[in-house]
Amino acid sequence: MDEITLVRELGAETPLPSPERLSRARTALLSEVAPRRKRRRLTVAGLAAAAVAAVTIPVVVLPAVQTAQTTPSTPATTPATAGTATRVPEMTAVAAFLDQAATVAAGDPETVPRDDQYLYYRTVGRIGTLHETWLSIDGEHDNRSRDQNGNYRISPGCRNNRTTADDGRTVVGCEPVRRYRPDMPTEPAAMAGWIRDYVRAEAGDAQAGDLGRYVGVLAYQFWMRPAQRAALYRAIGLLDGVRLVEGVTDVQGREGVGVAWAGPGDTAERVVWIFDPGTHRLVGTADWLIDRVAVVDTLREKG
């Protein structure tokens, strides 16, 4: 036994902390990264606003020149015709744009994945780095990823409430994360309600003020049928605080239309989505481009 082994064994005397032990530190962190806001009644609008906040996984604060180009969420130039007996609710510019994006998304082919399939994502970063991810649809099969160095990694799924940690230990008590939710609604208001229920189930009422961080994965890590994705776009397009930002560029320098959101207390908007201005397709974020999304049969298939 050499000195390295002795040092390693000394370290092995200290176990990993329990989640309970970490909870105080986690609370302290959350109070800093997401300051508690005035408690407010959860409304459809509030929930959907949180949903927009959620998609800030790749947060980018726009340069001043771009922020200056922000299109305010004032009514779009398609108001109800004067003299019409029935008043048609006015849509903001961002709502109108996302409504068009929803219409496009709703026209995609209907694909309902099987539990034994995988959600495949291929994304390209700003300097051309490639990431690939295979996520088990039912959460019970293994997942696989490829990092920018070309290294592949398997992340075990959760089967019979058991999974395997990075160090090889069996962890009991996991719950599989399903990547397709058949119960996800196809109507905007219902979608907002679904998001609320999802976050409460995932994080509990105590985290209601931090909805954003929990629903962010919905946009990128769940397979949605066309009507579900359309409902998501429309739900978000209805909200206060959401803005359309012109003149943003994606990771390949192509001009796009940004959907941005500034939450209460935020001093700058964050572009959370970039759409192709011509096709109204979601192309990614300011940090990465969605190169391919597909449902595949194996951990090797690339869609």
Partner 1 sequence: MQHSTEPDDVALIRGDFAALFDRHAAHIHRYLARRLGDQQADDLVAETFLVAFRRRGTFRAGQRDARPWLYGIATHLVAQHRRAELRRLRLHRAVPREPDTTCHADRVAADVTAAALRDVLTSALADLGDGDRDVLLLVVQEELTYEQVAAALAIPVGTVRSRLHRARTQLRAALGGSNPLNTAEEGIRHG
121 is a site residue for partner 1 (CB under 8 A)? yes
Helix (H, G, I), strand (E, B) or coil at 271: strand
User: What's the closest the beta carbon of residue 87 comes to partner 1, in angstroms?
Assistant: 39
> Which of left, alpha, beta for 203 (phi over 0: left; psi -120 to 50: alpha)?
alpha
Answer for which of 100, 108, 130, 131 binds partner 1 (CB under 8 A) is 131
174 is a site residue for partner 1 (CB under 8 A)? yes
Q: Which is nearer to partner 1, 110 or 167 (CB)?
A: 167
Q: Which is nearer to partner 1, 6 or 112 (CB)?
A: 6
Rounded Cα distance, 140 and 138, in Å: 5
3 is a site residue for partner 1 (CB under 8 A)? yes
108 is a site residue for partner 1 (CB under 8 A)? no
Q: Which is nearer to partner 1, 46 or 156 (CB)?
A: 156
5-44 binders of partner 1 (CB under 8 A): 6-8, 10-11, 14-17, 21-22, 24-26, 28-30, 32-34
- Contact predicate 193/45, CB 8 Å: no
Rounded Cα distance, 3 and 24, in Å: 36
57 is a site residue for partner 1 (CB under 8 A)? yes
User: What's the closest the beta carbon of residue 82 comes to partner 1, in angstroms?
Assistant: 44
Rounded Cα distance, 249 and 257, in Å: 8
Instruction: Map tokens 């979601």 to a residue.
Output: 282
Buried/exposed code over 110-122 (b: 16+ C-beta within 10 A; e: otherwise) = eeebeeebbbbbb
268 is a site residue for partner 1 (CB under 8 A)? no
258 is a site residue for partner 1 (CB under 8 A)? no
296 is a site residue for partner 1 (CB under 8 A)? no
Cα dihedral value 243, 245, 248, 250, nearest 10 = 40
292 is a site residue for partner 1 (CB under 8 A)? no
Q: Which is nearer to partner 1, 14 or 160 (CB)?
A: 14
Rounded Cα distance, 221 and 118, in Å: 11
293 is a site residue for partner 1 (CB under 8 A)? no
Rounded Cα distance, 300 and 290, in Å: 19
Answer for which of 37, 114, 126, 292 binds partner 1 (CB under 8 A) is 126
Stretch that binds partner 1, among 83-91, 93-101, 104-112, 146-154 (CB under 8 A): 146-154
155 is a site residue for partner 1 (CB under 8 A)? yes
Rounded Cα distance, 131 and 220, in Å: 14
Instruction: Map tokens 């962010």 to a residue.
Output: 216
Answer for which of 40, 153, 254, 300 binds partner 1 (CB under 8 A) is 153
Buried/exposed code over 255-272 (b: 16+ C-beta within 10 A; e: otherwise) = ebbbbbbbbeeeeebbbb
- From the CA atom positions of the chain, what is the Rg in Å? 22
135 is a site residue for partner 1 (CB under 8 A)? yes
| Site residues (vs partner 1, CB under 8 A) | 1-4, 6-8, 10-11, 14-17, 21-22, 24-26, 28-30, 32-34, 56-60, 121, 125-127, 129, 131, 133-135, 139, 143-145, 147-149, 153, 155-156, 158, 163, 165-166, 171, 173-177, 210, 213, 216, 220-221, 287
